[in-house]
A and B are shown apart, each in its own frame.
Chain A
Amino acid sequence: MTDHRRYFDEIELGEAYESPGRTVTEADVVMFAGLSGDYNVLHTDAEFMKHTIFGERIAHGLLCLAIQSGLFTRATAPYATLGFGGLRWKFKAPVKIGDTIRLRAKVVDKKDLDKPDRGLVTLDRTIVNQRDEVVQQGQTDLVVQKRP
Chain B
Amino acid sequence: MTSATYFEDVVIDQLATTPAITVTAAHVELYQGLTREMSAGPGEIPDVLPLCMAIGLGWRVKEPPMAVQAFVALDWKVMKELRVGDTMHTSSRIVSKRPMRDGGLIVDERTILDQHGEVVQQGRFTFLVAKRQKEASA
Contacts and interface: CB of A to CB of B under 8 A. Distances in A.
B61 to A, nearest CB: 12
Interface in A21-52: 28, 31-32, 34-40, 42, 51-52
B34 A66 contact: yes
Given A42-B68, A62-B55, A84 B78 contact: yes
| Residue of B31, B35, B47, B49 ringed by the most chain A CB atoms within 10 A | B35
B42 interface: no
B138 interface: yes
B46 interface: yes
Q: Interface residues of B toward A: which range? A: 35 or more
B31 to A, nearest CB: 6
B4 to A, nearest CB: 10
Contacts of A28: 34
Contacts of A66: 31, 34-35, 37, 48-49, 52
B34 A31 contact: yes
Contacts of B72: 90-91
Interface string A52-63: 100000001111
A78 B38 CA distance: 10
A52 B27 CA distance: 32
Interface of A: 28, 31-32, 34-40, 42, 51-52, 60-63, 65-67, 69-71, 73-74, 78, 81, 83-91, 94, 138
Interface of B: 21, 27, 30-31, 34-39, 46-49, 51-53, 55-57, 59-60, 65, 68-78, 81, 123, 138
